[in-house]
Structure 1
Amino acid sequence: MTNAIDPRPRRINLDHNSPRAHSIRARNDYTDTLKAHGVEERGYMDCTEGIYTGLFGRKSHEIRQARGLGPRTNVRDHLPEVELILVAAAEALGAERIRHEKRVGNGDCALASYLSASNLRKAVEADRQSRSPAND
């Protein structure tokens, strides 16, 4: 999925059922879980980097650079729909892992986030590799 980064910006739709609105709800649940499990200050960023690195093989600043975005630009506002949905799914799985394994603290929760995102990446890559060629 590292070569799936698309530099084209997309329009932000905050309709209740839009992928971006869904990702905001997933993000809020994820950060609530992080807070409940003792994540503090820079730990939120470290957990998010765990999601991006596990899912895309790149940290947020590398994603921004690859897409020609400014240093403070919100990466999620420029993700294609599929990638945005994958980030939301990785955060939901990360929150679930943190709760299930009773992870506590910045490093422990960042690792759990990375593991969940990495496993999701492997599943997506396996699905893409197993597809039959199109019948033209």
Structure 2
Amino acid sequence: MDFRSKNVILFGFILFLSAIGWSAAFQCYVCDSVSDSNCGDSFDTSSSYATSFVSASSACTACTKVKDRGTITRTCSTIIATDGCDSQGGITGCACTSNLCNGGSSSRLKVTTVAFISSLPLIIYKFGL
């Protein structure tokens, strides 16, 4: 197997890993602050309990967070939504359209995305792009 064939196989493998991440079920945090105080406004997505709130569904199109007089509810929605928040009558509802976006302000990168981005310099060097 020549040098160029190995590079093509490596590139194909990286694309395959990325496609697996893109085709996975949509994930949202699903919990409420009445049942579990860890689901409140001070929600910490990096804590060990946050993983127990992760729910995956292929039917989800958005994640939501609703605050109604101090009660927080995070869930997955099948209603097509756009990113943003709206408030009416003391109730604030927010929708977002990326994985685990209803947890708070922290951002998360998929492992496949990080692997792909970190391998770009190697690919560019090897292919001379």
Q: How high is the TM-score relative to the length of structure 2?
A: 0.25
Q: How high is the TM-score relative to the length of structure 1?
A: 0.24
- Whose relative contact order is higher, 1 or 2, with alpha carbons under 8 Å and at least 6 apart? 1
Larger strand proportion, structure 1 or 2? 2
Larger helix proportion, structure 1 or 2? 1
**Structure of greater Rg:** 2
